[in-house]
Amino acid sequence: MIVEMTFDYKLDGQIYNVLVVKKKNKNTYIKIKDDMTIYVTTNYLTSKREVKVMLDNETSFLRKALSRTKKKLEKEGHFYYLGKKYDIILVPFDDIDISGDKIFVKDETMLDKWVKKEARRIFLERLNYNYNLFDEDIPFPKLKIRSMKTRWGVCNKRDNSVTLNSKLIKYSLHEIDYVIIHELSHFVHFDHSKEFWETVRRHMPDYKKAVNILKE
């Protein structure tokens, strides 16, 4: 006999569905399904509370496994835009349309052009918004966008510019805002001192949630 139960589990601000399958297991195993469900197999005596404690003790594994699954899905025809996953549907017309969890586009070239245009529009909007949160006397920076492998943003005080990683468009506005606030805070403290992080926290009290998501 197999017994199943489900519940929601929150990790780094995201809600994941947990499916627990109870059977004649001696041990407990955790893996991530392709639909991002956290799949747990365990024995009949394991309670829901005990499963939650196990998950809390395995957050490092969960982050890595969820990140691997997310990257795998992206390669298989899924597209992330502002923190939401869309299925790519190829259509024989030139306009791009988003409906529900699907994005309709002629080809990947057109999608890439649209994403670059959207990134500049949204990043500039968020730069304006977050700049106005600062009471400190800092310059309004030039916005640069490029793909970067190891950094989400760069502050350059020499030419008063902020460079944002183009891949940020895949994340929600909360993560985008964090990176912008982080870089703007470097105009106040050009280091990662206690005072710097206090400046970041003052403008985004829950910034650590964004940090954890971007580390996945």
Going by the DSSP 8-state scheme, the letter that residue 22 receives in this structure is E
pLDDT band at 68 (very low <50, low <70, confident <90, very high): confident
Q: Are residues 135 and 208 in the same domain?
A: yes
Give per-residue burial for 34-71: e unless 16+ CB within 10 Å, then b.
eeeebebbbeeebeeeebeeebeeeeeebbebbeebbe
Q: What type of residue sits at position 174? A: H
Q: Are residues 190 and 169 in the same domain?
A: yes
Where is the domain boundary, 106, 125, 158? 106
Q: Are residues 123 and 151 in the same domain?
A: yes
Q: Are 127 and 141 in contact, with CB atoms under 8 Å apart?
A: yes
Q: Are residues 209 and 198 in the same domain?
A: yes
76, pLDDT greater than 60 = no
Where is the domain boundary, 75, 95, 118? 75
Mean residue pLDDT of the chain comes to 88
Q: What type of residue sits at position 177? A: D
Write down the pLDDT at residue 178: 97
Q: Are 1 and 15 in contact, with CB atoms under 8 Å apart?
A: no
Q: Are residues 68 and 85 in the same domain?
A: no
Q: Are residues 38 and 117 in the same domain?
A: no
Distance, CA of 18 to CA of 25 (rounded, Å)? 18
Q: Are residues 117 and 87 in the same domain?
A: no
Write down the pLDDT at residue 23: 87
The candidate with the shortest Cα–Cα distance to 8, out of 41, 36, 42, 44, is 36
Q: Which of 72-81, 93-102, 129-138, 139-148 has the lowest mean pLDDT?
A: 72-81
**134, burial (CB in 10 Å: exposed 0-12, middle 13-18, buried 19+):** middle
Q: Which of 66-80, 108-122, 200-214 has the lowest mean pLDDT?
A: 66-80
CATH number, domain at 186?
3.30.2010.10
Angle ∠(59,63,64) on CA atoms, nearest 5: 120
Write down the pLDDT at residue 50: 92
Write down the pLDDT at residue 97: 87
| Higher pLDDT pick, 180 / 110 | 180
Q: Are residues 128 and 156 in the same domain?
A: yes
Q: Are residues 152 and 172 in the same domain?
A: yes
Q: Are 161 and 152 in contact, with CB atoms under 8 Å apart?
A: no
Q: How many structural domains is the chain composed of?
A: 3
Residue 88: which domain range?
78-106
Q: Are 147 and 167 in contact, with CB atoms under 8 Å apart?
A: yes
Is residue 88 classed as helix, strand or coil in its secondary structure?
Answer: strand
The first and second tokens of residue 22, run together, are: 């109870």
Kindly state the average pLDDT of the residues 61-77. Answer: 75
Q: Are residues 24 and 61 in the same domain?
A: yes
Q: Are residues 45 and 88 in the same domain?
A: no
55, pLDDT greater than 90 = yes
Distance, CA of 213 to CA of 177 (rounded, Å)? 13
Q: Are residues 69 and 83 in the same domain?
A: no
